[in-house]
Chain A
Amino acid sequence: MFGAPWVCRRCLFCATGLMRRRNLRFQSTAASDEIVSPALLGRARSVSAEHSRLTQELAESFNTKTARRIGEISSVANAFADWEKATDSLTELHSLLADPTTDAELRSLASSDVDSAQTALRAAGSALTTALVPAHPFASLPCLIEVRPAAGGSEAALFAGELVRMYMALSNRLGWPAALLSVTHADVSTTGGGGSDDAAGALAEAVLEIKRAGAYDALRGEAGVHRVQRVPATEKNGRVHTSTATVMVLPSFPEHGTGNDEVNFEDPNSDYYVDPREVRVDIMRARGAGGQHVNTTDSAVRLTHEPTGIVVSMQDARSQHRNREKAWHILRGRLAAARREAREEEALRLRRSVVGVAKTGRNDKVRTYNYGQRRVTDHRSGFTVHDLDGVIEGGEALQRVMESVKAWLMDQEIKAMVSEEEAKK
């Protein structure tokens, strides 16, 4: 009877205030902190130690492999040396200022230098992080931009056309060769009074190729859902609509065999490269003693690529030598095809990661073009410009938005790298 009565948990929490929601807003954009993360610093330190060791090694005996490795890591080592220098000078200035015996003139000089030293350190730090972040594997490739309307019907189709024109204008302005590989126009049935122009601009799909090395790196931040908020040309009652279009940016791989440059079998990065150690060679030998005891005409050669299990056997020619050459040729071709397929799969995976089935809605946008406020906001970097026309015409403003996205991507990569480094420990 005097035992504690049962109380509903929700009532209990409400009474004691345990469930009170804290109204906090978490900053959605990364603050650009100037301090290089300790994990990255550790990595930089080890890389520069390796650099000095290799340089010493190279002074003793020349080795192409060592030389190439040095070339790869020298940028990190240089950036790290700069950063160390900047840190040293800043600490020296601080110690001067902290020292009570410093005379007044020197102190004023030092305090005026602190600012410049700090900016130098900041620059060195950002240079160091940039050097540390590995380049995207496809960074040096040209790219394909695919634009498709998503939510919003004909208005979305119109907006997709505008996006394509925006990217074409951008590449024209920058002098990058761009070509529309395929355009499919949507048939907009509900065209308004003066809608013939708009109907021409309504897209079902467009693929734009930008044939410039490094275009993929410059434009890969554009991938995602672009949202537009405006009163559409097709709207009669003057309501603001929100529609979206999806943009996909894919690396464009150069096609082999069409170029005039010879296919290089020796280059390990080439599709046609086959490591001879991974290939098992079987020659159909005569059973028994062999040598002078038999005069076999069997010239068959079988190659087995052990990592993939691809088998090529060749017995057409009487010459074993020729059979072997032919078998190698076919093996190279098959492996190249397999590798191309793998790469295409990778591209497909990229495409799916950009636009998932449920990710083309109005909420999953990366950027908003708001016509009412003449504003373009990128939701990843949190960057806003109030120069909508400049963006839509592919002008300077678009480039500023793209640069902010690039910085954000870099930030994400650094974060991923730091967490990776920490996970390693």
Chain B
Amino acid sequence: MPRLTPSFLRRAEKINPLLPLLLRACRDLRSAQNELRWLTEYARGCNSGAHPRWKPLLLDLCKHRSQGVPLQYLLGSEYFGELEIRCGPGVLIPRQETASSVSYLASRLRQGDFGDLNLNRLRVIDVCTGTGCIPLLLHRLLSRCCHDSSSLRLLGVDVSPIALHYATLNRQLLLDSLLDESRTMAPLRLDGIISSLLSMSFIQADVLPSSVQSQRSTIPQLLPALRHLGEPSWDVLISNPPYISSRAFATTTSRSVRKFEPRVALVPSTTNTCFRSKPELREYLHHVNQGVAKLEEGDLFYPRLLDLADEMSVKVCLFEVADLSQASRVSLLIRSREKWKSVEMWRDEPTLPPDGDGQEPKGSFRVLGRGCGRSVVCWR
């Protein structure tokens, strides 16, 4: 991280004395100014009653931000596609790239590119849902184009109780805003949308296999939990699992993420969830590999997710990945299973034309869009 020069800091201070604080986290003036504006709006807006003076609050917020607390945690929300999603410490902040992938998935589903799926009664399961942003956005995108979306079924699964709290909160907030809307606008059209949102639910379950799982856990496994719900089969499986290897976590991951976002949502081999030792992990990966994909530490969830997809007779899968090399490993893994008709890799912005500076993946896979490798999609 290049050092901020004193003259630059002085210049920023002349514009606003709070900017040097924010520059510690933002590193460039434009985004620091934007963040200051958003923080000011927030401080003025929320503290009319409790604190009559908003300036101390703003200073406090800026101090926190200068230590690297994500702005999204300070403001309590992040925008995901067209939705505003509540988030806070203990849950992964929704990412713009995920929203692009999900929007593109919705448009491809509407075009019917993934075989004959009935969009009106589509069953979508999101594993490692976090704030619930993916099922909520997909619900928004799919329900607005269906004739009758009341049979649309979405389920979010997460292991963390904090994530489940935020997910149900977000669903409730969206429901409230829809109910408000239905009072003023055509209520008939919104009925299906509201009933499918009501039927959306979030459950707590663990995805990783019991053989490698810590014995003390009382969290149920995913498949038994689904059987308990009476819904063992699903059409679409989406997952944004933890995919950062512990080496990348130490090197490429930004400080704010490392220090403030939950490690359990980022690094799959987090010690307290499953693996007690590195050799155990290597043994497991070698076991699932079958020598084809050369899986690495960060890829721990993908073989398990593909097993689950088979068990749930899923027809379309979308997995978020870290980069093109991980995308290639996952794609090779999918191909080695020989149960999937096609595999595609999507970059950060799948709808934009490629600008040609991205690296090329291994293997002959179709790559769409511009930016880093972000998702792997497969369908039967």
A residues engaging B (CB < 8 A)? 281, 283, 285, 288-299, 315-322
Minimal Cβ-Cβ distance residue in A for B34:
A315
- A290 proximity list for chain B (CB < 8 A): 95, 97, 348, 371-372, 374
Q: Is the interface of B mostly helix, strand, loop or mixed?
A: mixed
Q: Are A292 and B244 in contact, with the CB atoms below 8 A?
A: yes
- B248 proximity list for chain A (CB < 8 A): 289, 293
Subset of 21 A-B contacts with CB under 8 Å = A281-B352, A283-B349, A289-B323, A290-B97, A291-B98, A291-B243, A291-B321, A291-B372, A292-B243, A292-B257, A294-B256, A295-B93, A295-B95, A297-B70, A315-B30, A315-B34, A319-B84, A320-B96, A320-B99, A321-B81, A321-B82
> How far, in angstroms, from A295 to B82 measured CA to CA in the complex?
18
> How far, in angstroms, from A296 to B34 measured CA to CA in the complex?
12
Q: Are A293 and B70 in contact, with the CB atoms below 8 A?
A: no
Given A318-B78, A318-B79, 12 more A-B residue pairs with CB atoms under 8 Å apart are: A291-B95, A291-B321, A292-B253, A293-B254, A294-B253, A294-B256, A294-B257, A295-B257, A297-B26, A297-B34, A297-B35, A320-B99
- B96 proximity list for chain A (CB < 8 A): 283, 296, 299, 320
Q: How far is the CB of B26 from the nearest CB of chain A, in Å?
A: 8
> How far, in angstroms, from A296 to B256 measured CA to CA in the complex?
10
Q: Are B322 and A289 in contact, with the CB atoms below 8 A?
A: yes
Q: Ordered nearest first, which 6 A-B pairs have the shortest CB separation?
A: A319-B79, A294-B254, A293-B253, A321-B82, A297-B71, A295-B70
Minimal Cβ-Cβ distance residue in B for A324:
B82
> How far, in angstroms, from A319 to B97 measured CA to CA in the complex?
13
B residues engaging A (CB < 8 A)? 26, 30-31, 34-35, 38, 70-72, 75, 78-79, 81-82, 84, 92-93, 95-99, 240, 242-244, 248, 252-254, 256-257, 261, 265-266, 320-323, 348-349, 352, 371-372, 374
> How far, in angstroms, from A170 to B30 measured CA to CA in the complex?
64
Instruction: Give the residue of B93, B244, B265, B348 whose beta carbon is less than 8 angstroms from that of A293.
Output: B244
- B34 proximity list for chain A (CB < 8 A): 297-298, 315-316
Q: Are B352 and A292 in contact, with the CB atoms below 8 A?
A: no
Q: Are B242 and A318 in contact, with the CB atoms below 8 A?
A: no
- B81 proximity list for chain A (CB < 8 A): 321
Q: How far is the CB of B319 from the nearest CB of chain A, in Å?
A: 12
Q: Are A291 and B254 in contact, with the CB atoms below 8 A?
A: no
- A285 proximity list for chain B (CB < 8 A): 348-349, 371-372
Q: Are A298 and B31 in contact, with the CB atoms below 8 A?
A: yes
- B242 proximity list for chain A (CB < 8 A): 292
Q: Are A295 and B243 in contact, with the CB atoms below 8 A?
A: no
Q: Are A291 and B72 in contact, with the CB atoms below 8 A?
A: no
> How far, in angstroms, from A281 to B81 measured CA to CA in the complex?
16
Q: Are B97 and A291 in contact, with the CB atoms below 8 A?
A: yes
- B99 proximity list for chain A (CB < 8 A): 320-321
Q: How far is the CB of B302 from the nearest CB of chain A, in Å?
A: 15
Q: Given A292-B95, A292-B242, A320-B79 in contact, is the A297-B30 Cβ separation under 8 Å? A: no
- A322 proximity list for chain B (CB < 8 A): 79, 82
- B98 proximity list for chain A (CB < 8 A): 291
- A316 proximity list for chain B (CB < 8 A): 34
- B321 proximity list for chain A (CB < 8 A): 291
Q: Given A298-B31, A315-B30, A319-B79 in contact, is the A289-B252 Cβ separation under 8 Å? A: yes
Please indicate which of the listed interface residues A295, A299, A318 has the most CB atoms of chain B within 10 Å of its own CB.
Answer: A295
- B79 proximity list for chain A (CB < 8 A): 299, 317-322
Q: Are A295 and B372 in contact, with the CB atoms below 8 A?
A: no
Q: Given A315-B34, A318-B38 in contact, is the A295-B244 Cβ separation under 8 Å? A: no
Q: How far is the CB of A425 from the nearest CB of chain B, in Å?
A: 40
Q: How far is the CB of B42 from the nearest CB of chain A, in Å?
A: 10
Minimal Cβ-Cβ distance residue in B for A288:
B252
Q: Given A285-B371, A298-B31, A320-B79 in contact, is the A293-B352 Cβ separation under 8 Å? A: no
> How far, in angstroms, from A315 to B95 measured CA to CA in the complex?
17
> How far, in angstroms, from A320 to B80 measured CA to CA in the complex?
8
- B254 proximity list for chain A (CB < 8 A): 288, 293-295
Q: How far is the CB of A276 from the nearest CB of chain B, in Å?
A: 10
> How far, in angstroms, from A319 to B322 measured CA to CA in the complex?
23
Minimal Cβ-Cβ distance residue in B for A325:
B82
- B71 proximity list for chain A (CB < 8 A): 297
Instruction: Give the residue of A291, A299, A321 whose beta carbon is less than 8 angstroms from that of B320.
Output: A291
